[in-house]
Chain A
Amino acid sequence: MESHDGEWSLKELQKLEGHADRVWSVAWNPATGAAGVPAMLASCSGDKTVRVWEQNPSSSSWSCKAVLDETHTRTVRSCAWSPSGKLLATGSFDATTAIWENVGGDFECVSTLEGHENEVKSVCWNASGSLLATCGRDRSVWIWEVLPGNEFECASVLQGHTQDVKMVQWHPTMDILFSCSYDNTIKIWAEDGDDDWHCVQTISEANGGHTSTVWALSFNTAGDKMVTCSDDLTIKIWETDSRKMMSGDGYAPWSHLCTLSGYHDRTIFSVHWSREGIIATGAADDAIRFFVESKDGSVDGPSHKMILRNEKAHDMDVNSVRWSPGENRFLASASDDGMVKIWELVPVIG
């Protein structure tokens, strides 16, 4: 990353209004925002709907393109676009996951995945779009296989967490699944080549892990580091031996690299690592913070420093922060105040 040692500022580009209740998550459509395709964003809310927003290429202003309603009967908690950008998965407190297809600007619900016993908390597609993972308060993690004709088949139901599972995230390049939970642990799930998924590692307090609910996790671009955030008011950085991981020669375990504490004084709900290496966090104190690896590390190795804290990013808790997939420093945030905001992180010169 081009190092800018000076100051940064977070510019609010636009406030997207429309949801009638808190907004829980936002997701950028990965197939948009470049090559003449207008950028597209999805947001999901306690108002039981999902909104799809699109940016007008000439005016750069965002507007609501579609409202996906009359499907979920309770809060929609999580949304994720497939890597091709053609499908949108939405997970709801109504215990179902809906799959929506973009059919020429209109969004149709083409499938509903049932199985979870209660609230679905997170949905995530793997890098190739062949698998979808979901998790929920029933403590289980489900892996679904994507079949032709928008058919989904349950490939595995993973038990192991002893409490509510808050988020699932696939590794950016390998089909290894990560989950984090109210039980304070992070679990890593892999398949042994025989379609048999099992837990290959559990990161708990004993291994330098969190001491309260782990709300989210995110990987760096290379996929050899991950950052987790928690109700224990810290964010933790983890690393793995990428050569071993990619060689396929057995499982490469993750180990604790560092803990960033003292920066947050209320629960951190969301964390996202940008292409360039800037970590953004969204917390219950209405603020958005940014961290980068600090070059002036001690003998013990690199650490991180906070480059910016935007105190009143929203009027209420920030539930989700997501960097745009494009060649820019745009960030979307979602809040209890019912708003989605689009920001740009800009270096301050001079």
Chain B
Amino acid sequence: MVSELINANPVVYEKKERRVRSAPSRADEYAVEAIDQLEIFDHLRDIKDPEHPYSLEELKVITEDAIEVDDSNSYVRVTFTPTVEHCSMATIIGLCLRVKLMRSLPSRYKVDIRIAPGSHATEAAVNKQLNDKERVAAALENPNLVDMVDECLAPTNGLAG
């Protein structure tokens, strides 16, 4: 385990106000709502950073704008920005994003995760790992890694999961 934090003093941003969705009108009571950018962001915003007691939203590791979703084609791409260029936690963060979406979205969804271009020293290498389904599957059979991911995904007291 790292004894020294890679980024001891991250910039912490204010959380965005959560928009309350209006109740569906009578006409579309039975309609299935398309999954949109906000819904994906809601799944991801509270994921805890592996190193700091802040959420990915608070550290601006993910933002609503960095989510591209096309529900009719069951596709989502999440771009995330690690807090520092040499962040070795980048792979863990990417894995957390993938796992959360895997557990939250319908199985028809195709998910691409990538690091914001220019924000990381080895982004091509990290992106390749994060998008190699077999590597991800093997990693998720590693109990230590799964524990780390579950820690990050665990809801903090008082917040909805």
Top 3 nearest A-B pairs (CB, nearest first) are: A119-B138, A93-B138, A74-B141
User: Which residues in B have their C-beta under 8 angstroms from that of A267?
Assistant: 133
Closest A-chain residue to B129, C-beta based? Answer: A182
Q: A284-B110, A285-B110, A315-B107 are in contact. Are A75 and B128 (CB under 8 A)?
A: no
Q: Is A213's CB under 8 angstroms from B132's CB? A: yes
User: Which residues in B have their C-beta under 8 angstroms from that of A93?
Assistant: 137-138, 141
In the assembled complex, the Cα of A267 lies from the Cα of B110 at a distance in Å of 11
Closest B-chain residue to A74, C-beta based? Answer: B141
In the assembled complex, the Cα of A285 lies from the Cα of B109 at a distance in Å of 10
Q: Mark B70-112, 1 if CB is under 8 A from A, else 0.
A: 0000000000000000000000000000000000000110100
**B29 in the interface (beta carbon within 8 A):** no
Q: Mark B110-151, 1 if CB is under 8 A from A, else 0.
A: 100000000000000000100111110110010000000000
Interface centre among B107, B132, B134, B137 (most CB of A within 10 A): B134
Main SS class of interface, A: loop
In the assembled complex, the Cα of A166 lies from the Cα of B135 at a distance in Å of 10
* Nearest chain A CB to B22 CB, angstrom units: 32
User: Which residues in A have their C-beta under 8 angstroms from that of B107?
Assistant: 315-316, 336-337
Question: Which residues of A203-232 have CB atoms within 8 Å of chain B's CB atoms?
Answer: 212-213, 231
Q: Is A284's CB under 8 angstroms from B133's CB? A: yes
User: Which residues in B have their C-beta under 8 angstroms from that of A121?
Assistant: 134
Closest B-chain residue to A182, C-beta based? Answer: B132
User: Which residues in A have their C-beta under 8 angstroms from that of B110?
Assistant: 266, 284-285
Q: A213-B128, A315-B107, A316-B107 are in contact. Are A75 and B141 (CB under 8 A)?
A: yes
**A46 in the interface (beta carbon within 8 A):** yes
In the assembled complex, the Cα of A153 lies from the Cα of B135 at a distance in Å of 29
Closest B-chain residue to A119, C-beta based? Answer: B138
* Nearest chain B CB to A21 CB, angstrom units: 9
6 CB contacts below 8 A, A to B, read A22-B137, A93-B137, A119-B138, A137-B138, A164-B135, A213-B132
